[in-house]
Amino acid sequence: MNYFGEDEEVIGEKKWDWKNFKSTKDYPVSNNLLNWVIGQERALKECYLCLEEWVHKLKNLKEEKWYDAWTNPDKDKPTVTKTAPPGPYLLLLGDPGTGKSLIGRALSVHLTERYQKEDIKLQDVVCWQNEVIPSEPKISCHQAGEGKRILLKQKLKEEKKLFLQRIGVKAIIYLMIVVASIFMFAGFYYLWQEKIAWDINAMTAFGEPLQTINNGDFNTYMLDNFISIGTMTFLPAGMMLMFLILVTVLGRFGVLGAAKGVGGAKATNVPKFIVDNSKKVAPFIDATGHGSAQLFGSIAWDPLQTGGLGTPEHQRVTAGDVHRAHQGILYVDEIKNMSPDEAITLLTVLEDGQLPITMRSRLSGAGGTAAMAVSTEPVPCMCFLVGAGNFDSIGHVHPALMDRIYGYGKVVRMNNDMENTVENRRKYIQFIAQEVERFRLLPFSREACEEIVNEGRRRSNKKDSLTTKFRPMISLVKTAATLAKNEGLEVVERRHVKEAIENHCKTIQKQILEHQMSERGQLLDITPTGAKMGQIYGVAVVKDPYSGEMTGNVLTVKGFLEKRDKKHSGIRGYYKVTGIAKEGQEQFIADSVAKVRSVILQKYGVDIAQEYFTHIDFAQAYSVDGPSAGVTMTILLCSLLEGKSIRQDVAVTGEINVSVDDVIPVTAVGGLHEKIKAAEMWGFKKVIVPAKNYKHSIDPRDYSIEVIPGETLEDYLKECLIQPENDPKKTK
């Protein structure tokens, strides 16, 4: 069979020969991120429906001139009763790695294309000073790209004003310096003239020599003249100089336009550009894990906010994620982690499509300051909410928020796998080529691609499916490419992929589990050879309680059975199973223990709890749990009752069930791949699994051990029990 088909396909205007391609080199990778989403056709279909509804909503708002109310900052904004209709929204639920965030990013790219086609314009948002009520800054919205022009125009206007102001101030300063200098010069000139008059002993106006005044004391004479002359010259000059010093100090504090406030912002009346869509690309804002201030905007605290010396209120406004995502995608992963307060505020955003920016966090350090009193006019925030989470989010998302999503949007389940078809195997080639281009890796050979597809099938735990959890597969692709590069090769080969799978690309939980099993395995008494009475090997899994990772484990199960006869007439029979989960733990195995008793009663007509002394022990085990040990215990008791040895090179797993129509069925269990690999590692020749599991999940080509399906207990006994005439123990 040709794994990828035999036809040629046109991909991105290029022909690709699926029958004869040798590697992923030159595979045409699409530039459209939506084409990168693989195996999520249903989710994409729902996304497209929501996008059509979203574009229809924006077109109607455009026709109704809904945005006109925001073009003028002095114009009243729409009231809540006239806001845009809510919705649509998306909530993507699924396991990690299935492409939820990729869909969110791809939708924003698709929106940009639709906006261009429908002539829907994105918007810039500008925050203006409110001269009447400074604590209520005004808001205006403009077509994308206009915001920068408006800001530039206002800055030029402000600079012109400041320039004229600086010119005027400098002119006054220079004039005052000149006048002060004249006064100072005049003062010194008059004092010099008085000294000359004293030296020549000039006559006073009363006809007396100067040196006869003040008893001929020159100092007293000059001091009297300094006071009279200084009052008219030095005093005005000094007052002018003090005024110049005051002007300089005030200029440094911003009164003359040179002050620095929050983030170095000038104390200016120029509006602040808070949402920039000049690139004209539909916004994609990842708000995962953000708090209230980041989500809904905030007002910065300025330590110099009193007396008009700090940054004006409108310059301290910062837009939130919901405002920056206006007309775009607001993506919130792990949406269940939103606090109740944040969820309630988000409801306002979703319902009204507008939200004022104010201080929302009392833990911001600005509590009790003027920043708490600042609140802008409503700011438009019509965002397309795309929430994401695991399936456990259903019960943890705020009920009111979940109700809005159900009412105005859609909740979509992400697929964990897709059908194992030629078309989907080709999509795996696409996935590999995408990662090769993204990380600049070596191309993958056809055989290496086949091995990655096989690994995708194994990870789906279904024979006819492929996993869509691609994020863990990325590590596999990168590691295999690195191994090939280290060898100096030009193409990644199958062996590199196998080495990456077996040795390099395991989660830390799986590494820890395998290490624990390896350490414990050195102490286990497991010998998969020969035949024994009263001993059988079962395969189980050990699961990490946090990540769900599993690794296989082999259990040695031993049994003791003695019939209760006359000499034991005074003693009641018993049925004990040790090595299993104790009371108070989950005890899923308790049902299997009870069913084994009923199955034996149905098959042999004996009650092992009344007519026998029965003890089954999971040797060297502790707290074994789960239903898959049921068939193991049943085969062990059948061996003891029939006196037939059990093949020790055969391991078993399966859930035993009560007989219907004299047929004792063995039904499916979990963790088959890990169980079979454990039996393979320990050297068993065969492993018997439920027929349902075999049909659903198992491809024998994945294992070197023989995997045999069993539908009923008889199928298991046929493979496990040795007939007396063939029992080597009996013939000796």
Binned at pLDDT 50, 70 and 90, residue 732 comes out as very low
What would the pLDDT profile of 275-309 be if each residue is shown by its tens digit? 999 888 899 999 998 988 899 998 887 665 554 55
Residue boundaries of the structural domains of the chain: 40-166+254-415, 419-505, 524-731
Residue closest to 456 by CA, chosen among 478, 481, 424, 485: 424
Domain 40-166+254-415 has CATH 3.40.50.300: yes
Same fold, 419-505 and 524-731: no
Higher pLDDT, 202 or 545: 202
Q: Which of 88-102, 360-374, 452-466 has the lowest mean pLDDT?
A: 360-374
Binned at pLDDT 50, 70 and 90, residue 157 comes out as confident
Looking at residue 67, its pLDDT comes to 78
- Percent share of the chain, pLDDT over 90: 33
CA 491 to CA 24: how far, in whole Å? 9
Is the confidence at residue 258, as pLDDT, over 50? no
What would the pLDDT profile of 379-420 be if each residue is shown by its tens digit? 999 899 999 988 888 888 889 989 988 888 899 999 989 999
Is the confidence at residue 638, as pLDDT, over 90? yes
Please state the pTM of the whole predicted model: 0.73
CA 640 to CA 625: how far, in whole Å? 23
Burial of 201 (0-12, 13-18, 19+ CB in 10 A): exposed
What would the pLDDT profile of 138-155 be if each residue is shown by its tens digit? 999 999 989 889 888 888
Maximum CA pair distance of the chain? Answer: 165
Is the confidence at residue 59, as pLDDT, over 70? yes
CA 298 to CA 295: how far, in whole Å? 9
- Percent share of the chain, pLDDT over 70: 87
Contact 322, 330 (CB under 8 A): yes
- Out of 92-106, 424-438, 689-703, give the one with best mean pLDDT: 424-438
Contact 374, 310 (CB under 8 A): no
- Supply 460's token pair: 């789906």
Binned at pLDDT 50, 70 and 90, residue 84 comes out as confident
Secondary structure, 3-state, 330-377: EEECCHHHCCHHHHHHHHHHHHHCEECCECCCCCCCCCCCHHHHCECC
Summarize the confidence of residues 184-208 as an average pLDDT: 79
Looking at residue 365, its pLDDT comes to 47
Residue closest to 22 by CA, chosen among 478, 496, 443: 443
Residue closest to 450 by CA, chosen among 699, 102, 149: 699
CA 455 to CA 648: how far, in whole Å? 30
- Supply 390's token pair: 């695991």
Higher pLDDT, 404 or 729: 404
Looking at residue 715, its pLDDT comes to 93
Is the confidence at residue 531, as pLDDT, over 70? yes
Binned at pLDDT 50, 70 and 90, residue 183 comes out as confident
Looking at residue 723, its pLDDT comes to 75
- Supply 534's token pair: 């009263």
Secondary structure, 3-state, 166-211: HHHHHHHHHHHHHHHHHHHHHHHHHHHHHHHHHHCCCECCCCCEHH
Summarize the confidence of residues 97-108 as an average pLDDT: 85
Higher pLDDT, 517 or 373: 373
Strand pairing partners for 656?
666
CA 654 to CA 596: how far, in whole Å? 12
Q: Let me know if 393 is a catalytic residue.
A: no
Looking at residue 359, its pLDDT comes to 83
What letter represents residue 287's amino acid? Answer: A
**Mean of pLDDT over the chain:** 84
CA 250 to CA 256: how far, in whole Å? 7
Q: Which CATH class is domain 419-505?
A: mainly alpha
C-alpha distances out from residue 236 to 190, 564, 570, Å: 15, 129, 130
Q: Let me know if 170 is a catalytic residue.
A: no
**Of the residues 628, 639, 645, 697, which is catalytic?**
628
Strand pairing partners for 543?
550
Is the confidence at residue 619, as pLDDT, over 60? yes
- Show the DSSP H helices in 126-282 as ranges: 146-199, 218-232, 234-252
CA 366 to CA 474: how far, in whole Å? 45
Looking at residue 547, its pLDDT comes to 59
CA 178 to CA 28: how far, in whole Å? 78
Higher pLDDT, 589 or 33: 33
The number of CA neighbours under 13 Å toward the Cβ of 301 is 15
Count the neighbouring beta carbons within 10 Å of the beta carbon of residue 340.
10
Contact 467, 460 (CB under 8 A): yes
Q: Which of 125-129, 505-509, 599-603 has the lowest mean pLDDT?
A: 505-509
C-alpha distances out from residue 450 to 3, 50, 456, 477, Å: 8, 36, 10, 12
Is the confidence at residue 126, as pLDDT, over 70? yes
CA 20 to CA 17: how far, in whole Å? 6
- Give the list of residues 6+ apart from residue 530 with CB closer than 8 angstroms, or none: 648, 649, 728
Is the confidence at residue 116, as pLDDT, over 80? yes
Contact 425, 4 (CB under 8 A): yes
Is the confidence at residue 364, as pLDDT, over 70? no
Q: How do strand 666-667 and strand 655-656 relate by DSSP bridges?
A: antiparallel
Contact 465, 695 (CB under 8 A): no
Burial of 599 (0-12, 13-18, 19+ CB in 10 A): buried
Which SS3 state, helix, strand or coil, does residue 270 take?
coil
CA 313 to CA 268: how far, in whole Å? 10
Looking at residue 485, its pLDDT comes to 95
- Out of 75-79, 230-234, 612-616, give the one with best mean pLDDT: 612-616
What would the pLDDT profile of 682-727 be if each residue is shown by its tens digit? 889 999 999 999 998 888 888 899 999 999 999 999 999 997 766 5
Looking at residue 83, its pLDDT comes to 63
The number of CA neighbours under 13 Å toward the Cβ of 311 is 21
CA 241 to CA 213: how far, in whole Å? 35
Contact 77, 378 (CB under 8 A): yes
Contact 589, 625 (CB under 8 A): yes
Looking at residue 366, its pLDDT comes to 46
Record: fold of 524-731: Ribosomal Protein S5; domain 2 (3.30.230)
CA 591 to CA 14: how far, in whole Å? 59
What would the pLDDT profile of 341-350 be if each residue is shown by its tens digit? 899 999 888 8
The verdict on whether omega for the bond into residue 236 sits within 30 degrees of 0, i.e. cis, is: no
